[in-house]
Chain A
């Protein structure tokens, strides 16, 4: 049977949805892609035949996909069957990624703080104190301002602090929860997965990143990896979240 272009596009989209959760090396990932494509084509063709059509339409692809399980489900099964061959990454590459993230997070925080600081500037007579130093809290340069202006200034400052704090608190776990990697991990070619090779969620990402809020706890967490969980290559909080860091395959 012939395939309508729209049907082909629908297949490629389903394929992409499945493959984005497949973290294997280039060759194996290519094999998975090729086999899945073949399966999706065969299934869509069968669906078209069963309704007596002579051209495969997008609705046939959708019918076939409904029969085969969702892309996420398929990816999960595939990754589980490869779990034994995944290689974990240890201390050094992860430390480098952490340092990169430390600065990347700082850049994002300043990107938030800077426009907010500019917003607050008109409230001051002195342009010198754009970058919040102690003077701001002494309210130097705001004498004689109306209470309304002062209220606006305080709201801007509070929002600024909240947003900057939110970036600090959320950077690691939102990025990892959504994509499986942070900017630093992406640059270092690393990715966080569940121990069984499947994708992590926000909750896992939060648990494994919690000690990063407190450097003392993080140090202990890393020491656990270096001294006790050497073979597993897991920090203590990785162990709790059931997560591992691996080399990102074929992206």
Chain B
């Protein structure tokens, strides 16, 4: 398989996971954008690594869809205020549904992989 084909496919796959991963972290606590991308990278051992633009795009879209809300908060001296994101009740419901669907897909793929004719 060509490397570029694999990259394309991985990119598609990642599009589906970004939203799920961000919502999952926001269930734990409110976070600001940089913290979110850094933590996602660390927790997933670098597998889920978001560029700034993609993180912004995902957060903005989810905010428009009312899955999350945001507020500004002052931080220590010398640092600019941070924009914190928090998950809404709608976001929580949507997350549970997404996760169920994700697990269903996973189980289905497992069955397909185990099939031996």
Contacts and interface: CB of A to CB of B under 8 A. Distances in A.
A195 to B, nearest CB: 16
B81 A81 contact: no
B48 to A, nearest CB: 14
Interface residues of A, number: 27
Contacts of A36: 52, 56
Contacts of A42: 32, 34-35, 79, 82
- Main SS class of interface, A: helix
B53 A38 contact: no
A67 to B, nearest CB: 8
Main secondary structure of the interface of B (DSSP, over half): helix
A240 B61 CA distance: 28
B117 interface: no
A69 B56 CA distance: 12
A84 B57 CA distance: 12
B62 to A, nearest CB: 10
Given A42-B34, A43-B34, A81 B83 contact: no
A76 B72 CA distance: 24
Given A34-B80, A38-B81, A46 B52 contact: no
B32 A82 contact: no
Interface residues of B, number: 22
B33 A73 contact: no
A154 to B, nearest CB: 54
B99 interface: no
Contact of A78 (B34, B56, B64, B79): B56
Contacts of A84: 64
Nearest to A38: B80
A38 B32 contact: yes
Given A43-B34, A81-B61, A82-B60, A73 B83 contact: no
Given A31-B83, A42-B34, 14 more contacts: A35-B56, A35-B83, A36-B56, A37-B80, A38-B34, A38-B79, A38-B82, A39-B32, A42-B79, A46-B34, A75-B53, A78-B60, A81-B56, A81-B60
8 contacts: A31-B83, A37-B80, A38-B83, A41-B79, A45-B79, A69-B51, A69-B53, A82-B60
